[in-house]
Chains A and B, each alone.
Chain A
Amino acid sequence: MATEGDQPGPSTPAGDTAAAKKDKKPQGQTQTQTQQKNQAAQADPGSGEKKLSNAELKKKKQEEKAARRAQAKTVQVAQPVGPSGARGASGDATAGGKGKAGNPRQGGLLVTGGHHRSASKGVLPQPVKEPTKPKIPECFSHLSMARRITMTQADKDVNPVVLALGQQMSSFAISDSTTRLETTLLAFKKVIDAYTTPHGNTFSRHFTSHVLNPQIEYLTACRPMCFSMGNAIRWLKLQISKIDIDLPDASAKKILCQSIDNFIHERIVLANLVIVNTAASLINDDEVVLTYAHHKLVERSLLQAKSDGKRFKVILIDDPFERVGIEHAKKLAAAGIPVTYASDLGALKTNLQEATIVFAAAEAMFSNGSMYARAGTCDIATVATDLGVRVVAISETINFTERVSIDSLTYNEIDPGRSTDEGFRLLFDTTRDKFISVVVTELGDSSAMSVPAILRKLEEL
């Protein structure tokens, strides 16, 4: 209805309505569908408007809103918003509730709860596209992908530090989840420092929705959030909301930055230390450790074991489409560890037959004990389990999520550089718990089945 400002088309106030922006999306079908529906919605009230009673009008508004929400949801899911998308959906449910009650809210969809949904807001390239824009194959269209927006497309509220960070994330210069997390939090500290609460607002209420959220949206647009970032942001917002309303800005900022520092220290720095030591202690003399591509934690664990005086060999299987293993191999070799480098998963069984233990670092751990890691990890874990070789999953607890994934196509990310049918690559896969012998975290060794227990424990903290 005209009054609600939900209309598609250039008449909408720019930069506000999520729904409008969504409608402008390059997903051609949904665009026309939404347009048609909205036009239908417009048409009907247009003709019968005068005849409907207020109650009926209101009912109509609600129906239309529900319909739009439903559309927007499908559009949203179709968008590469990633893990945050689902959370956004749940946020949306609450927002929807609020939206119904509070009509004047933009589209009822973008409310304080739905912070990730707002990813789509304000960041979209204009609908006019070159016809040759490559398309993601349909069967994978539900998966997330970095959209890599440029700095110019970013919302004006985005802090320059965050802008730079976003670009680094889009270009995958920073790609590992823990590093992303750490740099994001540090950047947010800067944002906090730079912030002053405007008159008539409180820090805790204003900051999140007006300052933090745009940063988050932008970063998500550069590359979908990893689960650890999601966890940390939830934590951060909780900290913000706990700040006493009467506290002056300077103190609030100090407290927050302190919390962030502690968080980083505990959940990342210390955690990594404990993990590296635990993992290194799993390596006995004369073991042959097999690992895949490269991960900081694995590298550090192996170097630690070496400096602990252990005598062992490494077989490094690389991801042939992103040969990060070469540098890794060189570093290990430089430390005096005998390394065999296998260029891909060819003759995997042969390579595993020489190994006695497999180290795999996880991008995230799902609550059903499945491990989310670089694509190819599951194949290695499967064959390792067939051969009786132990598979050690390594992850900080900050990467644990309550989400559940059974197969690798529930949550995944498409390589933005290879996202068309002429060359398509998925970045991750999901390894089921039955292929994992032990999960090493800063809380110690545990079996994959204990992940939910760990999650519950973390909730308490």
Chain B
Amino acid sequence: MPSATAGYAPDLEKYLKSLKGQPLEAAVESLISLLKRRQIRGSEPCAVATAHILLQVVARSKWQDVDGLIENVSRIGRRLVEAQPKELVIGNIVRRILSLIRDEAAEDRNEASSETPSEAPMTPPHPSDPTSLLQSPPSTYTKQDSAGDYLNPAVPPPRPGPMPSYSSVNIPKSLFHLLSASPPSLGDGFSSPHRNSGNSTPTRIAHQSSSQVHALRSEVIDGIEEIKDEISQVDDQIAALAEAQIRPGDHILVHQPSPTVERFVLRAAAKRKFTVLIVTEPPRKQSEDIQYASFRKKLSASGITVINVMNSGLMAYMSRVSKVILGARTIVANGGAVTDAGAAAIARAAKEQGNAVVVLAGVYKLSPVNPFDEDSLIEWGGSSSFVSFADGRMVNNVEIRSAVTELVPADFIDTYITNL
């Protein structure tokens, strides 16, 4: 994230404070407009805001049962994603929360250890559309011992959508789906084929008692709080790996370092002596202060040489650089990282030289989205910083492009460091 983050913090904080007083719908609306206007931007703020608002949804919206809750959350989640489709973190958090809800609900019902809460497969734009192939019940394998419970009408809600499911539970399903119409563990024979074979209606869960609802609500809220904590701890956990990655005498290149990257480097700086090359954005005004001043100060205090590099193409430096450390806004399913514009050229240059490229990202930034088209992930920005609107010849005749984010393909990345 660029150093000029002064803008966002007040907006996010202001928004979060305002959450208390406002009615739910109004809060959602205001978040949507903040997202649309890019007043809340950057992965961490968006993630935090999403988590907060969904917590409010869980806590304050009306719902009778798990399906209802899921529907509420998905609905709001969908709107948030549409407000800012390029910010993939929003979708990630929505999915995490949905998966959390399902897991909690499944736990409640089965009292067996639930499956791993990995990224749930649902994408908000695809409303529940279970195909006949994807069976609803979690695999018989894990539920063998609880076959008894299994029979009760509260079947765990189906996982909708054709998107790949990541949790280990579904894996046997995907190969056996061809053959299994029902979990053969059921002693009662085959009422299940009728229930599950090829139906597309999600089995509706019987009305849950209010105490169950209440219990679920508080569990989900706890879960969301955990997610929020996780987001805030990401930087520390990532930084814990810093010393292993940075060696004394290294020349580390960082590109427009985000707070995560700064923490990472500073942590290593406490123990090692190395050189940091910071690639900056072009200065907006002539007489701007030194960029990344506070970062530089902290580094120099640890005795690290810091050089602000003001070049756009970094191949020139690569023979000197030992490692490149990048922060990512999101990491997509094929391993590519969405980063600030300019990082892809740096990664390519590093690859050419054989330098390692390390990407730092909290797990909440991993998105199951598979970009069919790289270009859809690029965000284009305004050009007023370098061309004035008064410059008629330029404005009229020339198409001006300035990218804000871009995708670094997985081949250019050597290592990902996350908080797990």
- Do the two chains touch directly in the complex (Cβ atoms below 8 Å apart)? yes
Q: Which residues of A contact B (CB under 8 A)?
A: 137-140, 319-321, 323, 326, 329-330, 333-334, 338-351, 375-380, 382-383, 386, 407-409, 412, 415, 418, 421-426, 428-431
Nearest to A434 among chain B residues (CB) is B352
Q: What are 15 A-B interface contacts by the 8 Å CB criterion?
A: A329-B394, A330-B394, A344-B312, A346-B406, A348-B344, A349-B344, A375-B313, A379-B349, A382-B349, A408-B315, A418-B310, A421-B307, A423-B290, A423-B310, A426-B316
Nearest to A347 among chain B residues (CB) is B403
B232 within 8 A of A: no
Minimum CB–CB distance from B327 to chain A (whole Å) comes to 16
Q: A345 with B312: in contact, given A383-B348, A409-B319 (CB under 8 Å)?
A: yes
Are A346 and B341 in touch, CB under 8 angstroms?
Answer: yes
Nearest to B406 among chain A residues (CB) is A347
- With most chain B CB atoms within 10 A of its CB, the pick from A333, A383, A421 is A421
| Residues in chain A near residue B397, CB distance under 8 A | 330, 333-334, 339
Nearest to A432 among chain B residues (CB) is B352
Report the Cα distance A418→B374, complex, angstroms.
35
Nearest to A407 among chain B residues (CB) is B319
Nearest to B280 among chain A residues (CB) is A423
| Residues in chain A near residue B333, CB distance under 8 A | none
Q: Which residues of B contact A (CB under 8 A)?
A: 251, 275, 280-282, 290, 296, 305-320, 340-342, 344-345, 348-349, 352, 374-375, 378, 380, 383, 386-387, 391, 393-394, 397-404, 406
| Residues in chain A near residue B406, CB distance under 8 A | 346-347, 349-350
Report the Cα distance A321→B309, complex, angstroms.
11
Are A408 and B319 in touch, CB under 8 angstroms?
Answer: yes
Report the Cα distance A333→B400, complex, angstroms.
12
| Residues in chain B near residue A341, CB distance under 8 A | 387, 394, 398-401
- With most chain A CB atoms within 10 A of its CB, the pick from B317, B342, B404 is B317
Q: A342 with B394: in contact, given A383-B345, A421-B308 (CB under 8 Å)?
A: no
Report the Cα distance A125→B303, complex, angstroms.
31
Minimum CB–CB distance from A135 to chain B (whole Å) comes to 11
| Residues in chain B near residue A334, CB distance under 8 A | 393, 397
Minimum CB–CB distance from B21 to chain A (whole Å) comes to 41
Are A409 and B316 in touch, CB under 8 angstroms?
Answer: yes
Minimum CB–CB distance from B352 to chain A (whole Å) comes to 6
Are B311 and A343 in touch, CB under 8 angstroms?
Answer: no
| Residues in chain B near residue A378, CB distance under 8 A | 313, 315-316, 349
| Residues in chain B near residue A345, CB distance under 8 A | 312-313, 341-342, 345
Residue from the list A340, A377, A407 in contact with B399, Cβ < 8 A: A340
Are A379 and B315 in touch, CB under 8 angstroms?
Answer: yes
Interface of B: prevailing SS: mixed
| Residues in chain B near residue A348, CB distance under 8 A | 344-345
Report the Cα distance A343→B381, complex, angstroms.
10
Are B401 and A343 in touch, CB under 8 angstroms?
Answer: yes
Report the Cα distance A418→B310, complex, angstroms.
8
- With most chain B CB atoms within 10 A of its CB, the pick from A326, A349, A379 is A379
Are B312 and A321 in touch, CB under 8 angstroms?
Answer: yes
| Residues in chain A near residue B349, CB distance under 8 A | 378-379, 382
| Residues in chain B near residue A326, CB distance under 8 A | 386-387, 391, 394
Minimum CB–CB distance from B231 to chain A (whole Å) comes to 27
Report the Cα distance A231→B101, complex, angstroms.
75
| Residues in chain B near residue A344, CB distance under 8 A | 282, 312, 341-342, 402-403
Report the Cα distance A416→B306, complex, angstroms.
18
Are A138 and B305 in touch, CB under 8 angstroms?
Answer: yes
| Residues in chain A near residue B344, CB distance under 8 A | 347-349
Are B316 and A412 in touch, CB under 8 angstroms?
Answer: yes
Not counting A334-B397, A341-B387, A343-B402, a sample of 12 additional A-B residue pairs whose C-beta atoms are within 8 angstroms of each other reads A137-B305, A320-B312, A329-B398, A330-B397, A341-B401, A344-B341, A348-B344, A376-B313, A378-B316, A409-B317, A423-B280, A424-B308
| Residues in chain A near residue B313, CB distance under 8 A | 345, 375-380, 429
Are B315 and A429 in touch, CB under 8 angstroms?
Answer: yes
Pairs of residues from A and B, 6 with the lowest C-beta to C-beta distance, nearest first = A346-B341, A376-B313, A346-B403, A347-B403, A379-B313, A429-B316
Report the Cα distance A342→B381, complex, angstroms.
11
| Residues in chain A near residue B307, CB distance under 8 A | 137, 421, 424
Residue from the list A340, A383, A407 in contact with B398, Cβ < 8 A: A340
Nearest to A340 among chain B residues (CB) is B399
| Residues in chain B near residue A347, CB distance under 8 A | 341, 344, 378, 380, 401, 403, 406
Residue from the list A330, A382, A428 in contact with B316, Cβ < 8 A: A428
| Residues in chain B near residue A330, CB distance under 8 A | 393-394, 397-398
- With most chain A CB atoms within 10 A of its CB, the pick from B305, B315, B380, B400 is B315
Residue from the list A137, A340, A429 in contact with B401, Cβ < 8 A: A340
Minimum CB–CB distance from A427 to chain B (whole Å) comes to 9
Are A422 and B311 in touch, CB under 8 angstroms?
Answer: no
Q: A423 with B308: in contact, given A333-B393, A379-B345 (CB under 8 Å)?
A: yes
Q: A320 with B403: in contact, given A407-B319, A422-B308, A423-B308 (CB under 8 Å)?
A: no
Q: A375 with B401: in contact, given A345-B342, A424-B309 (CB under 8 Å)?
A: no
- With most chain A CB atoms within 10 A of its CB, the pick from B306, B316, B318 is B316
| Residues in chain B near residue A138, CB distance under 8 A | 305
Report the Cα distance A347→B386, complex, angstroms.
17
Nearest to A293 among chain B residues (CB) is B312
| Residues in chain A near residue B312, CB distance under 8 A | 319-321, 344-345, 375-376, 379
Minimum CB–CB distance from B402 to chain A (whole Å) comes to 4
| Residues in chain B near residue A340, CB distance under 8 A | 398-401
Residue from the list A140, A321, A422, A426 in contact with B290, Cβ < 8 A: A422
| Residues in chain B near residue A429, CB distance under 8 A | 313, 315-316
Report the Cα distance A376→B307, complex, angstroms.
18
Are B401 and A342 in touch, CB under 8 angstroms?
Answer: yes
Q: A139 with B311: in contact, given A320-B386, A344-B282, A346-B402 (CB under 8 Å)?
A: no
Minimum CB–CB distance from B90 to chain A (whole Å) comes to 22
Report the Cα distance A268→B314, complex, angstroms.
31
| Residues in chain B near residue A379, CB distance under 8 A | 312-315, 345, 348-349
